[in-house]
Structure 1
């Protein structure tokens, strides 16, 4: 995570904790940086006019003006339970798993009343069996893929196919596909000069080239493949951009 992204994330972390304060040690552990780095970042936020403040002494820490916090979201008990299950499904092998964890923290901070009780009770009854993978290597690959999708940049992959053969690929990311519990990066493969799906757990290494990728239509890349009938999950329909209305041609 670069410094600009970390500064923004620090503000969001403090907002999610309102009215509590967070210590520098907790923030450093959250972002996996040294405490001195967090201190410098918090000082930079103060100098930029962001209303962060420190409370000295036992039980003190850093907080942000409550006016910058979001109002409580009025979830029903059923909605809160559904979100708890969805967040639980975003395990370490899922894309944006780290962001899902921070989203869960913000969700917990926003819940009140019966919704909070329902989510807590359900969360206590959900367990997972972690996959025996190299977590540090997996985290590096996932971070590279997520960054490439967010910034639309070209990726260089080391990929292992179903037969165990490893190959180097240069790809232009188009989107993500989930099927049968697996996640795939759908991209235009420059090496094969065609659209391809790369199973995330088979990507042995990934690194950004820094080059801006050409835009590719996800649906078009899936044409002719086993995933040609893939559709957007209904739960994400509300997040989809509203298509622009075409202007009528002049008469």
Structure 2
């Protein structure tokens, strides 16, 4: 069994035992590897966001949180391949790229059957030229969007002019491979779009924002015709109207 297959199998072994814990010795015997190998694999899983945890002392061991895992998922080969391609596109320039990587690990651990092997094989045949991105800026933008708080940023426009802005984030727009933060700009007293790779500095605050309608902020702009991606419609709660 290669290491990738063993990592998936470790997750399934811990899931089957949950909420009980399993010792490293028991896991090493189960997979016929050394205790050091199992320890290294478990630490790798923890580092990639899989909710495994360890309890020291007598009666302790490794376990996985059943509330934070997925049951086995049966994808078709095409569905699994689509996921591999979509996740490959979530490079450093993509908002929430870090969370996408840990989500991918959880999805991969839950896949079973031929589709899982197909996705793994396809993943070896996808390469990308990473786009430079400021992780500090992205973290600040993500935090402001998630917590609905005011964001202070420094922005360089297409003409090279730099300005400091205080904005109230409303959402994200993707177009032509670029990502934009759509927000109410207190400096301009109007809706504005800020290309993420042109934000040179950003700092979240604790000030809560007033809700802004994304469609209204885009009205009259070049992005007025923007629509929600069909792949996200199933995640959207139904309208109250």
TM-score range (shorter-chain normalised) is 0.7 to 0.9
Counterpart position of 2:188: 192
Matches within 5 A, 1:87-166: 87-131=87-131, 133=132, 138-166=134-162
Q: Is the 8 A contact 1:17 1:109 kept in 2?
A: yes
Matches within 5 A, 1:171-250: 171-244=167-240, 246=241
Residues 18 and 218 of structure 1: CA distance in aligned 2, closer, same or farther (over 3 Å): same
Q: Is the 8 A contact 2:150 2:166 kept in 1?
A: yes
TM-score where L is the length of structure 1: 0.74
Counterpart position of 2:13: 19
| 1:129 alignment partner, SS class | coil
Matches within 5 A, 1:12-51: 17-19=11-13, 26=44, 30=48
Rounded to whole Å, the distance in 2 between the matches of 1:190 and 1:183 is: 21
TM-score where L is the length of structure 2: 0.77
Unmatched tracts of structure 1, length 5 or more: 1-15, 32-41, 43-50, 247-251
Rounded to whole Å, the distance in 1 between the matches of 2:178 and 2:46 is: 32
Q: Is the 8 A contact 1:77 1:119 kept in 2?
A: yes
Counterpart position of 1:9: none
Q: Is the 8 A contact 1:176 1:183 kept in 2?
A: yes
Rounded to whole Å, the distance in 2 between the matches of 1:22 and 1:165 is: 52
Unmatched tracts of structure 2, length 5 or more: 1-9, 15-37
Residues 99 and 67 of structure 1: CA distance in aligned 2, closer, same or farther (over 3 Å): closer
Question: What is the Cα deviation at residue 130 of structure 1?
Answer: 1.8
Rounded to whole Å, the distance in 2 between the matches of 1:152 and 1:67 is: 26
Rounded to whole Å, the distance in 2 between the matches of 1:175 and 1:83 is: 23
Q: Is the 8 A contact 1:154 1:208 kept in 2?
A: yes
Q: Is the 8 A contact 2:70 2:107 kept in 1?
A: no
Counterpart position of 1:5: none
Aligned residues: 205
Alpha-carbon RMSD: 2.7
Q: Is the 8 A contact 2:149 2:169 kept in 1?
A: yes
Give deviations 1:190-232, integer Å, cap 9, x for gaps. Answer: 0000000000000001101210011000000000000000000
Counterpart position of 2:73: 73
Matches within 5 A, 1:44-63: 53-54=54-55, 62-63=62-63
| 2:173 alignment partner, SS class | strand
Counterpart position of 2:23: none
